Chains A and B, each alone.
Chain A
Amino acid sequence: MIVRSDMTRSNHITLPLTFVVALMCGALTAEPTSEVDLPPELIDRYEVLIAELRCPKCLNINIADSNAPIATDLRNVVQSQLREGKTNSEIKAFLRERYGDFIDYNPPLSPSTLALWAIPLILLICAAIVFTFVGSKRGTTELSDEEKTRLHQLKAKYPS
């Protein structure tokens, strides 16, 4: 699960851009968000889904937070499909068929998304290698005889 959370973070590698686009979307459209009309047992799934679906108009914002008209429409699509008893993956598949993998903040592993999933792992391995390398160099430092003598001299000079 640690690896997984690291991957999600990599999707947000363009975090500064996210903020800029989010601000722009807020400024350009001002539409009241639609009311949620769902039985209580479906609300949680609804919240999860709209948080994981990306607004196709305002890229880098989910449809839960976007005020774009299309985000309102897609929230309504999610609601009506939940009411029809569709599963989360059926609803996501429905939207992916129409808007592409892009719509899903949690995209499936496929040849086109392989890099997305593999890069964090590769970075993690690189980091591990670097830390091991640097760490071991530091850990195995041995003082030369000359340095030991100097250390003793200094200790004698400045007793603790």
Chain B
Amino acid sequence: MVADRRNFAPLRVALWLPLIAFVGLCVVFFASLEFSPRNELPSPLIDRPVPSFSLPDLHSAVQRTGDDLPEGAFLLNVWATWCFPCREEHPVLMDIAAEGIAVVGLNYKDEDLKAIAWLNNIGDPYRLNLADHDGAFGVDMGVYGVPATYLIDGDHNIRYKHIGPISASQWREELGPIFETLLGANDRA
């Protein structure tokens, strides 16, 4: 019996290893479920210039390019009338625009007439609205869900990407302060 124990003691320890590994994996999985941001991909476009484009203006159908973007920092908001959370976000965008901040709309895979009617009905926070009918510019911007909002600095570099609707508190606590720094940097430049 003494011999048995000497021979099998290391094996007994080894037998516990799978269970320990399993529990460890469970901890890792639950931690990542709890703490990692769901459905949010880091964008490789951060700190890169807005991709070049030539898109029709939603209202006039005139072709717009990067030269038509506002001077200084602005918000680029991807929206559509078929996007339910966009309606929830709309009043927040109205408030942001009322602060005098330039908001550019990218009307994504939508119908022009529906989009214009929506803006006429509930208000138009956008300084410029680009119509991306087939979503090709959306692919260039790495859009995979609507709404999405990009913070663009005075040199027209993408500095921040927000996925999903912006709530009033998110604007106050998260995006607004970041946008302030972009404005500040622009003033110093």
**A residues whose Cβ falls under 8 Å from a Cβ of B:** 14, 17, 56-57, 59, 68-70, 73-74, 77, 96-102, 130, 133-134, 137-138, 141, 143-144, 146-147
Contacts of A74 in B (CB 8 A): 139
Interface residues of B in 93-135 (CB under 8 A from A): 109, 135
Interface residues of B in 19-53 (CB under 8 A from A): 29, 33, 39, 41-45
Are A100 and B42 in contact (CB-based, < 8 A)?
yes
Contacts of B109 in A (CB 8 A): 69
Contact with A100, one of B14, B44, B141 (Cβ below 8 angstroms): B44
Are B144 and A70 in contact (CB-based, < 8 A)?
yes
Are A141 and B43 in contact (CB-based, < 8 A)?
no
Q: A57-B144, A141-B7 are contacts. A77–B139 as well, Cβ < 8 Å?
A: yes
Q: What are the 7 closest A-B residue pairs judged by CB atoms, nearest first?
A: A56-B144, A70-B144, A98-B142, A100-B44, A57-B144, A73-B135, A102-B41
A69 to B134 CA separation, bound complex (whole angstroms):
11
A144 to B39 CA separation, bound complex (whole angstroms):
62
Closest partner residue, chain A, to B32 (CB atom)? A14
Are A57 and B14 in contact (CB-based, < 8 A)?
no
Contacts of B139 in A (CB 8 A): 73-74, 77, 98
Contact with A17, one of B29, B39, B44, B141 (Cβ below 8 angstroms): B29
Contact with B11, one of A14, A73, A134 (Cβ below 8 angstroms): A134
Closest partner residue, chain A, to B43 (CB atom)? A100
A58 to B45 CA separation, bound complex (whole angstroms):
20
Asked if B140 is at the interface of the complex by the 8 Å CB criterion, the answer is yes
Question: How near does chain A come to B126, taking the closest CB pair, in angstroms?
Answer: 23
Report whether over half of chain B's contact residues are helix, strand or loop; otherwise say mixed: loop
Are A98 and B141 in contact (CB-based, < 8 A)?
yes
Are A56 and B41 in contact (CB-based, < 8 A)?
yes
Q: A57-B39, A141-B7 are contacts. A99–B14 as well, Cβ < 8 Å?
A: no
Q: A74-B139, A77-B139, A96-B44 are contacts. A147–B29 as well, Cβ < 8 Å?
A: no
Contacts of A141 in B (CB 8 A): 7
Closest partner residue, chain A, to B17 (CB atom)? A130
Question: How near does chain B come to A80, taking the closest CB pair, in angstroms?
Answer: 10
Are A147 and B135 in contact (CB-based, < 8 A)?
no
Closest partner residue, chain B, to A57 (CB atom)? B144
Are A98 and B10 in contact (CB-based, < 8 A)?
no
Knowing that A98-B139, A130-B14 are A-B contacts, what are 6 other residue pairs whose CB atoms are under 8 Å apart, sorted by A's residue number? A56-B144, A57-B145, A77-B139, A99-B43, A100-B41, A147-B3
Closest partner residue, chain A, to B14 (CB atom)? A134
Contacts of B10 in A (CB 8 A): 133-134, 137
Are A98 and B29 in contact (CB-based, < 8 A)?
no
Question: How near does chain A come to B180, taking the closest CB pair, in angstroms?
Answer: 27
Contacts of B138 in A (CB 8 A): 73
Question: How near does chain A come to B83, taking the closest CB pair, in angstroms?
Answer: 11
Contacts of A68 in B (CB 8 A): 144
Contact with A99, one of B7, B33, B41 (Cβ below 8 angstroms): B41
A105 to B156 CA separation, bound complex (whole angstroms):
32
Closest partner residue, chain A, to B143 (CB atom)? A70
A130 to B15 CA separation, bound complex (whole angstroms):
11
